[in-house]
Amino acid sequence: MIAIGSAITEEDVFDAYAGPGIERIREPDTRLLIYPSAGTIFRSYNVLLDKAKEIEGLEALVLIHQDAEIVDPDFFKKIRHGLSDPDVALVGCAGATGVKSIAWWEGAVTWASYTHRYQEFGGGEIPAICWVQEDTPSFAGTGEVDSIDGFVIAFSPWAIENLRFDETIGGKLHGYDFDISMQVKEAGKKIVTEDLRVIHHHSLELISEMEGWVETHMKLSRKWQHLLPDNGGGEPDWEDRARRAEAELSATRLMAGAGEIIWEARTQDLERELEGVKNSTSWKITRPLRRLRGSREKNR
């Protein structure tokens, strides 16, 4: 039996997205652990893990964001496949190798079978590299990674028993997936991706609080420096300055990427508006007048 847990801050968001997705794939004995958020996502997810630990015969716990909608009819089958290796602790739908920080996407992304849907500018969609199957790059493939995207995480029984999110980090949302992934690596277990089809309904704002993101980046880089690529030595003050510079650079790159996405979304929205105007009755009626005006201006 598999349990699904979600920490809710906005019931209407859960009811619109995560709830219907869960109902779409749940089995007769699926246990639902749906609770109000307990503050930070680190604390909320620990509460859910503690609840899951009390369930006998549990195959896995899937933790999912309230704005994530499962659309894969074989979701549980794929989770079971991912956890068939007893050394696997976590399964996700997106991940990367060569990860150096909470900005896991700056590593080599090997799989990402989700799409990002947003409501701004009339709504739109940004498919990840493996969402459109016929466009999936040849290098992409499911399998072992260093870190996964935390909006969907499946925990093995071992992981439910032995892993907990680090509530001392202090951040509300960022870095929890990187931290739990590093715990798995330190324990000598595996993290894998599977072809889980999920829609992430999320705004185009990727970082809502820059300083908090930077501080979390620094804390987790310091915590896991023994597992991360060597960035050179130096005095503690030098190391902190280097970590801050690295965190701010990652944040800047992320914000720059978000800016390009927002620009593209706004452009698409304007194109839709223009197309709507061109197809309107008033636009068609005034077409002869526009042609006449253009002709006059051309002959001046």
Instruction: Please give the helix or strand (H or E) that residue 252 lies within, else none.
Output: helix 236-278
Q: Which pLDDT score is estimated for 234?
A: 46
Q: Which pLDDT score is estimated for 210?
A: 74
Q: How many CB atoms lie within 10 A of CB 240?
A: 14
Phi-psi sector, 208: left (phi>0), alpha (psi -120 to 50), beta: alpha
Give the CATH number for residue 40. Answer: 3.90.550.10
Tens digits of per-residue pLDDT, 146-165?
999 999 999 999 999 999 99
265: containing domain: 2-299
Domain count along the chain: 1
Tens digits of per-residue pLDDT, 90-103?
999 999 999 988 98
DSSP 88-121: EEEEESEEEES--SS-GGGSEEEEE-EEEEE-GG
